[in-house]
Amino acid sequence: MKRTRTFPLAPLLAAAVAFGTVAAGSPASADPILPTPDAAVGVTALSLVDRDREDPWAPGTRRELAVTVTYPAAATTGRVRAPYLPGTGLPTNGHLDAPVAASGKRSLPVVLFSPGFYMPRTLSTGTAEHLASRGYVVISIDHTGDALATVFPDGRVVPQRMTDSYSEATLRKAADTRVADAKFVIDVVESLARGDDNATQTPLPDGLADAVDPTRIGMFGHSMGGATTAEVLRTEPRLDAGVNLDGALFYGTAPSPIVTEGASGPLLSIISSLHADSPEGRERFWDQYFRTDRGWSRVYAIADTGHASFTDAEHFVPQSVPDLPAFEIPGGLSLGTAPRQEVTRTIDGLVTAMFDRHLRDRDEQVLENPTPQYPLIREIR
Residues recorded for the chain: 381
Q: Which residues of the chain have pLDDT under 70?
A: 1-30, 197, 201
* pLDDT value, residue 21: 38
Per-residue pLDDT tens digits for 242-272: 999 999 999 999 999 999 998 779 999 999 9
Dihedral (CA of 91, 95, 97, 103) sign: negative
DSSP 95-122: EETPPBP-SSTT-EEEEEEE--TT--GG
CATH fold, domain 10-379, is: Rossmann fold (3.40.50)
The answer to whether the CB of 268 falls within 8 A of the CB of 298 is yes
Q: Where are the domains of the chain?
A: 10-379
Which of 32, 264, 215, 13 shows the shortest CA–CA distance to 110? 215
H or E element that contains 94: strand 91-96
Per-residue pLDDT tens digits for 145-175: 999 999 999 999 999 998 887 899 999 999 9
Q: Distance from first CA to last CA of the chain, Å, rounded?
A: 23
* pLDDT value, residue 197: 65
The answer to whether the CB of 17 falls within 8 A of the CB of 84 is yes
Torsion angle, alpha carbons of 136, 142, 143, 148, to 10: 150
C-alpha distances (whole Å) from 115 to each of 74, 246, 261, 273 are 28, 11, 24, 20
- Cα angle 248-251-256, degrees, rounded to a multiple of 5: 70
- Cα angle 92-98-99, degrees, rounded to a multiple of 5: 145
DSSP state of 312: T
pTM listed for this prediction: 0.92
* pLDDT value, residue 195: 83
The answer to whether the CB of 261 falls within 8 A of the CB of 238 is no
Task: Spell out the residues 6+ positions from residue 365 whose beta carbon is closer than 8 angstroms to its own.
Answer: none
Give the β-pairing of 267-272 and 297-302: parallel
